[in-house]
Amino acid sequence: MARKPADQQFDTLRILQERAFELFARHGFDGVSIGDIASEAGLSKGALYWHYRGKEALYLDCLHRLHRLFDDYIFDPMRNEEDPVRAVLALFHGMEKLLHDPRVRKGVAGFWLVPSGPETAALAAAQRAFEDTSMKVIAGTLRRGVETGRFDLGSDLDTFAPAVISIVEAVILPLRHQTPEEVRRTLAVLARTLFRAYAPGVPLPQF
Quick one: 91 exposed, middle or buried, by C-beta within 10 A (0-12, 13-18, 19+)? buried
- Which of 72 and 13 is assigned the larger pLDDT? 72
pLDDT in tens, 21-50: 999 999 999 999 999 999 999 998 888 888
- Which of 179 and 95 is assigned the larger pLDDT? 95
Q: How confident is the model at residue 125, as a pLDDT?
A: 92
Three-state SS string over the chain comes to CCCCCHHHHHHHHHHHHHHHHHHHHHHCCCCCCHHHHHHHHCCCHHHHHHHCCCHHHHHHHHHHHHHHHHHHHHHHHHHCCCCHHHHHHHHHHHHHHHHCCHHHCCCCHHHHCCCCCHHHHHHHHHHHHHHHHHHHHHHHHHHHHHHCCCCCCHHHHHHHHHHHHHHHHHHHHHHCCCCHHHHHHHHHHHHHHHHHHHCCCCCCCCC
Where does the pLDDT of residue 117 fall: very low under 50, low under 70, confident under 90, or very high at 90 and above? confident
What's the mean pLDDT in 82-104?
92
pLDDT in tens, 158-173: 888 888 888 888 777 7
Q: How confident is the model at residue 81, as a pLDDT?
A: 95
Going along the chain from its start, the domains and CATH numbers come out as 55-198 (1.10.357)
Residue 135 pLDDT > 80: yes
Contact yes or no for 146/156 (Cβ under 8 A): no
Is the four-CA dihedral 168, 173, 179, 185 of positive or negative sign? Answer: negative
What's the mean pLDDT in 93-121?
86
